Amino acid sequence: MSLIETAGARVLAGHTGAVNSAAFSPDGAWISTASEDKTARVWNAATGELRHTLSGHTDAVFAAPFSPDGSKIATVSADLTPRLWDARTGTCTNELTGHTIAVFGVAFSPNGRTLATTSYDETVRLWETATGRCLQVLEGHSDIVYSAAFSPDGKLLATASGDGTTRLWNIATGACVRVLNGHTGIVSAVAFSPDGALIATASFDGTARLWEVGTGNCLRILNGHSDTVWSVAFSPAERVVATASEDATARIWDAASGALVRTLEGHTDSAFVVVYSPDGKLMATASSDATVRMWESGSGRCVRTLEGHSGAVSSVAFSPTDRQLATASADETARIWAL
């Protein structure tokens, strides 16, 4: 592991494969990274020093989020077996067996007691984080399940699938309570609004959609992108939703009317991810042009372009304090940027 200070960022070097994701711990003290090199790593967010290497997977690791209380890390991998780790010691506490093909998506419930994993085997599994016991197998999708998101109250789970649908599941019973039909391509991402009343979905069909959770009705189709929509995020501060697309732009939409508020232009290749800062004042987009751009959410002005990565940037995360940004790249590094 080598720590390099360059271009205004700390470079977290040590992975020997593309870094697929970066995530902060809830207190902002630590950063986890997940890599094609079959490991996840935990780094000190203040110094960039390596704390733990989470070894044991036998194939690429796609994500490694912290639990809401910061005590656990969950990893998902192409080796079929998600794992739970003690974040303090770096010890694997549970291997979660049951999926039959690569496990791509992962999400902790708001209270941290349940973990959802999504798989190429067309299922979602719910696990008890304290014991690693499988609580429910959610079956119904007819293609890869790419991602999942818990409702703010933790009672529902939304899943996005290659079958063109989003499904809503009751966490307590495992029953599918809504099937959201309408997209004509893969559903690539899903997000709940902060109040839990709306769901936004992104799709390969070039649109995003807004749905009413209570009824499953499609309220708005967000038309304007000219290619795949990869990412969708609600602002924590305003009633707006942001999208990021293969067409190299991000867009901000009014969540009530579906009207386009503004288009964020500047990337020269696919915009993979869009995220809001915790206070909602800033947005960040990550692109295959090897840059990250930061935008004022209110004006849409690009306030900073973060350059230094030499490969596509696949993941970006704000720290809980808004003081740092973490990025992960195909160039086998992650970076920590001071804001």
pLDDT attached to residue 146: 96
pLDDT attached to residue 322: 72
Long-range contacts of 292-300 (CB under 8 A, 24+ apart): 292/316, 292/325, 292/327, 292/337, 293/264, 293/266, 293/267, 294/325, 294/339, 295/250, 295/264, 297/235, 297/237, 297/238, 297/240, 297/242, 297/252, 300/252, 300/261, 300/262, 300/263, 300/264
| pTM of the model as a whole | 0.94
Asked whether 267 and 284 are in contact (CB, 8 A), the reply is no
> Which H helix or E strand runs over 57?
none
pLDDT attached to residue 7: 55
Supply the DSSP symbol for 247.
T
pLDDT (tens place) for every residue of the chain, 339 residues total: 334 444 578 999 999 999 999 999 999 999 999 999 999 999 999 999 999 999 999 999 999 999 999 999 999 999 999 999 999 999 999 999 999 999 999 999 999 999 999 999 999 999 999 999 999 999 999 999 999 999 999 999 999 999 999 999 999 999 999 999 999 999 999 999 999 999 999 999 999 999 999 999 999 999 999 999 999 999 998 899 999 999 999 999 999 999 999 999 999 999 999 999 999 999 999 999 999 999 999 999 999 999 999 999 999 999 998 789 999 999 999 999 998
Asked whether 77 and 102 are in contact (CB, 8 A), the reply is yes
Q: Which two tokens stand for residue 213?
A: 């959770």
pLDDT attached to residue 65: 98
Q: What is the dihedral of CA 106, 219, 317, 13, to 10 degrees?
A: 60
pLDDT attached to residue 83: 98
Asked whether 271 and 283 are in contact (CB, 8 A), the reply is no
Backbone phi, then psi, for 165, in 5-degree steps?
Answer: -120, 160
Cross-strand partners of 28: none
Residues 6+ apart with CB under 8 A from 210: 198, 199, 200, 218, 219, 220, 222, 241, 255, 258
pLDDT attached to residue 5: 45
